[in-house]
Amino acid sequence: MSQTFPIVYLARHGETAWTITGQHTGRTDLPLTERGEEMARRLGERLNGNTFAKVFTSPCLRAVQTCNLAGFGAVAEIERDLVEWDYGEYEGRLSADILAERPGWQLFRDGCPGGESPNEVAARADRMVDLVRSRRRRVAVLQWPLSANAGRALDWGGANCRPVVDAEHGEPEQPEP
């Protein structure tokens, strides 16, 4: 029995003021910087010519702006499970400051007081993976609660996952053909 798996393009929102400062940005609804807007337009250029069965975006302003500037706003579907990690008491804080108070803290192991646990974020990610896998076609996901780089490690059950842009970790990557 042959099974078709989707091709998934993961894109993270463009740069925000907190991206520049390195602050943990979860539920704070920040707009894109001018550079972030340019990154979003470049994302649209990189994805130009691709046809997607579905485009999903987080409801966060920065993700919606990225989606619109990339040219997918008219076809995008807001997906609540794509909202970023709820950092709770660590929202807006620097990792160095958190580690000074709580040596050895690791987000993916410890979560955040007053915010989400790793298991809660994983449950949202699992729901998104199931949703995307059900499409069985080319899908774009703008904003991912664990960052676009984390998408490389996810078990997409045979899906071809292609991170396209991650504003927090450098310049946009060219998608594979």
Which residues are tagged catalytic? 13, 84
The answer to whether 142 and 152 have CB atoms below 8 angstroms apart is: no
* Nearest alpha carbon to residue 27 among 92, 113, 111: 92
- Measured in residues, the chain has a length of 177
For residue 11, the one-letter residue type is A
Q: Give residue 154's region: left, alpha or beta (phi > 0; psi -120 to 50).
A: beta
- Angle at which helices 34-47 and 61-69 cross, to 10°: 50
**Tokens 């485009």 label which residue?**
55
